Structure formats: structure tokens, C-alpha cells
Amino acid sequence: MIAPDSTAASASAPTVRKAVVPAAGLGTRFLPATKATPKEMLPVVDKPAIQYVVEEAAAAGLDDILMVTGRHKRAIEDHFDHAFELEQALATKGDTVRLDAVRDPARLADIHHIRQGDPLGLGHAVLCARHHVGNQPFAVLLGDDLIDPRETLLSRMLEVRERYRGSVVALMEVDPAQIHLYGCAAVHPTGEEGVVRVTGLVEKPAAGTAPSRYAVIGRYVLDPAVFEVLAHTPPGRSGEIQLTDALQGLAAAGTVHGVVFTGLRYDTGDKADYLRTVVRLACARPDLGPEFTGWLKEFVSGLEDGGTAVGQGHRAA
Ligand code: G1P
């Protein structure tokens, strides 16, 4: 019998096994909802936003996930743990569907938590993962960026990292009027469709100074070399240690590539986009979609007819 030994990796085993999910932000944009509830726990249909992120990592084969949390984030730990009494109550009732829904988060991966302590920025949050990650490449997934579950962006990034080595960031072309909200990448073609070499990075460039329309969206596959650079990265924009600034150091050495994403991405950190996310994902759900979509069409046509649709909310079953 062959013992399951992670050191005896087969040729097809992915090199990247670990993911880091920074989740220490205060969520001020969603106050008062986030006064006592972490923003990562806000529901998107019927799952907290962070569960989609963990499911995405697990779907890409990452089975070790480190959450970098802060104070008031206990609900995240509880969500990815067993809920003994709840599970027993559902088991006694024979409600296997809900029992699975309750158990699933804890079964997705081996989930660890550490606290950032001082909120010194995204770069600092990633640096907090250094000891856990060790000297191996790893993924970083930001909770505010939700990639549609039907997309395979992270798998593509892992595959690009295998071939190009170094670090890989996800890029998306955005309206130039929006680029100041993101890290922005100067890029050079590689000759491969959808893959670029990143020649420079700037965090949230001031109007008119962005080197391109390529925004860094919250998915990264990082070489462990980033830790040493982060350890020496001074505070940048907003007085925080920026991951973008550390990656700029690596990009200057020619070791950062970008995967250009053209699929569905939602920014659940923004109120209007959060609402769009809930609607889009609800429409795509086989159990809710048909009925909800029917109601939505009626609602929208009511709005177009002069706003009478507002009342439909009260009529809905
Ligand atoms: C962070 C990063 C930024 C990136 C963005 C993607 O910014 O610092 O480079 O473009 O996530 O969502 P934040 O939105 O946390 O301010």
C-alpha cells in the first residue's frame, strides 16, 4: 500500500498547494451591516462571500488555506468549523440537504487562521503568511473580488506559473476612469494569447498617470521571493505596506507575468456591484433562478412603465 505522503508528489501534482486569503479589513463601506459582522460574511444569495473564494481555491486544487484575519472576525473561524449542535439537530430531523450545506465549508480544505494584529496593509497581511507558507509558491485571493464560479481563472494562473515560474497576477482591462481604484500594470506581450509580461506596477495611480488600462484584480500566484521584498517594502499609498509595491520590485527583475481575464468578476466590496452579484448569481441558480428571473423581468418592465414595480416587492410570495 502506498502511504499518502505529500513529499512524494507525483509528476502531475500541482506545485502550488497553499492559498492565503486576507480578511482583516474593517468593511467600513458596508456599515452598519459590518458593525458586528465581518464584511466577508455578508451573504451572496445564501453563502457568505468568503465561501465562494474558498470554493474557488479548492476547485483549483489548493487544499491548504490560510485566512489572515483581525479582531471581530470570529464568525469566519466558526463558519469554516464544525457546528456540532446544529449538525446534530439537522441529522436528527433527517434534513440531509441542510446538513451538507452546514458541513461543506469545513470540508473544502484544510483551513487555518492567523491574525494580522496591526492593520498595516495588504502587503503586510501577505507577509504575515510567511511562516505558514514557507519557501513555496502560493496563491493569494482577495475576498472583495468574486470570480464567477463558472470561470477557471485561478487554474489558468497556476498553469502559467508552472511554465513561466516567478509570480503571476490576474489583470482585467477597465475603463480608464476606473483605473485609479486598482493596482495598474504596464505590460509587454509574450506572444501567447492572454498572457503578458508585467514590466511595472503602480498602486492606484492618480488620474492621467496610469501606464495602461490593465487593473490588477484580486488573484495572485506568488513566488516566495515576494516575502523578502515585502519585509523591506516601506509604507506606500494610504500609508500602508502595498503588495503592488513589492510586486513592482519583482516586475522590474522580469519575473512577473499577467493573465488577462475577460470573464465575470464582481466587486462585492462595492454596494452597487454587491447587489449586481447577488442578482446575477441568484439568476444562475437552478433552484432559484427560473422563478427569480421571472419576477425580475416583471419588476424591470414595471420600472420601465413608470415605477409601479416598486409595489411588486410586497406582492411577491
Ligand atoms: C487591492 C490591491 C489593488 C488591487 C485591488 C483589487 O486594493 O491593493 O492593487 O487592484 O485590491 O481588488 P483594495 O481594493 O483592497 O483597496
The stretch 242-270 carries a mean pLDDT of: 95
The pLDDT of residue 124: 96
Q: Is the pLDDT of residue 13 over 50?
A: no
Phi, psi of 82 (to 5 degrees): -75, 150
Q: Answer yes or no: is the C-beta of 144 below 6 A from any ligand 1 atom.
A: yes
Mind listing the pLDDT tens digit for each residue in 18-46?
A: 999 999 888 889 999 999 999 999 999 99
Listed by start position, the domains of the chain span 6-269, 270-305
Nearest alpha-carbon partner for 202 in 252, 261, 168, 164? 252
C-alpha 189 – ligand 1 centre gap (Å): 23
pLDDT at 8: 41
Task: Tell me how far the alpha carbon of residue 47 lies from the centroid of ligand 1, in angstroms.
Answer: 23
214 Cβ inside 6 Å of ligand 1: no
Banded model confidence at residue 1, pLDDT cuts 50, 70, 90: very low
Predicted TM-score (pTM) of the model is 0.91
Q: Is 75 exposed, middle or buried (0-12, 13-18, 19+ CB in 10 A)?
A: middle
Closest C-alpha residue for ligand 1 atom 14: 182
Task: Please write the tens of the pLDDT for every residue from 172-182.
Answer: 999 999 999 99
Q: What percent of the chain has pLDDT over 70?
A: 92
Concatenated DSSP letters of 221-244: EE-THHHHHHHTPPP-GGGS--HH
Q: Report the pLDDT value the prediction gives residue 73, as an integer from 0 to 100.
A: 86
Identify the architecture of domain 6-269 in CATH. Alpha-Beta Complex (3.90)
Average pLDDT over residues 79-95: 95
Please determine, for residue 12, whether its predicted confidence score (pLDDT) is greater than 90.
no
Q: Are 68 and 133 in contact (CB under 8 A)?
A: no
The answer to whether residues 71 and 27 touch, using CB atoms and an 8 Å cutoff, is no
How far is residue 74's CA from residue 33's CA, in Å, rounded to a whole number? 16
Q: Which residue among 181, 214, 265 is best mutated to probe the pocket of ligand 1, counting the most ligand atoms within 8 A of its Cβ? A: 181
pLDDT of residue 271: 93
Query: Per-residue pLDDT averaged across 75-93, rounded?
Result: 95
Does the CB atom of residue 157 touch ligand 1 within 6 A? Answer: no
pLDDT range class, residue 317, cuts 50, 70, 90: very low
Query: Per-residue pLDDT for 307 more than 90?
Result: no
6/212: higher pLDDT: 212
Tell me the pLDDT tens digit for each residue of 180-196.
Answer: 999 999 999 999 999 99
Report the percent of the chain where pLDDT is more than 90.
83
Question: pLDDT by residue (tens digit) across 113-125?
Answer: 999 988 899 999 9
